[in-house]
Amino acid sequence: GQIVRPVGGSPGGAGQRLPADMRRRHHPWGDLRGIILLGDDYEQIRKVVAANREGHGYGVRTASDGEEALVLWELRRPDLILLDLGLPGIDGIGVLRRVRGDATTPVIILSARGEERDKVEALADGADDYLAKPFGMAAPQPGVRAAPRRRSARERAPNGAT
């Protein structure tokens, strides 16, 4: 989303202070709740999920295929990855395995694949959570809030185990 700075002395103009959740968003990649990488091949899903997360104070980078997701992940390691399994090129499992080979970045799978074996494979390969599409916009919120806590716990644990 576009970052808009009010004209005037303070962020709220005329000496007003904005609520804390609004102050976080004044710098494009600073003072945010965190950066989310969203990999999904459907543009409408990328737009809706990104707008929702940005509305909650997160910076969101989007990718339409697995290669782009990995490039964005390398350019600026996000705090969280929301990932579709059905990405073109390198699929979501391939992206997940590459990320897990190098980092403890939390990954939440958002996928239309509702089969139990797909969920089991994603979780076995290191996904932190799995949400089947379609889902309501409230569905990713608990996982998004909990993922940084899980990441922090993994980083404190010996050999990354929890």
Q: Is 81 helix (H, G, I), strand (E, B) or coil?
A: strand
- Give 28-68 pLDDT, tens digit per residue: 445 578 999 999 999 999 999 999 999 888 999 999 999 99
Average pLDDT on 142-161 reads: 53
Among 10-24, 84-98, 109-123, the least confident range:
10-24
What confidence category does residue 134 fall into, taking pLDDT thresholds of 50, 70 and 90?
Answer: confident
Query: Is 125 exposed, middle or buried (CB count within 10 Å of its CB: 0-12, 13-18, 19+)?
Result: middle
- Which residue do the tokens 């797909």 mark? 118
Sign of CA dihedral 85, 148, 77, 102: negative
Cα torsion through 80, 139, 46, 1, rounded to 10:
-70
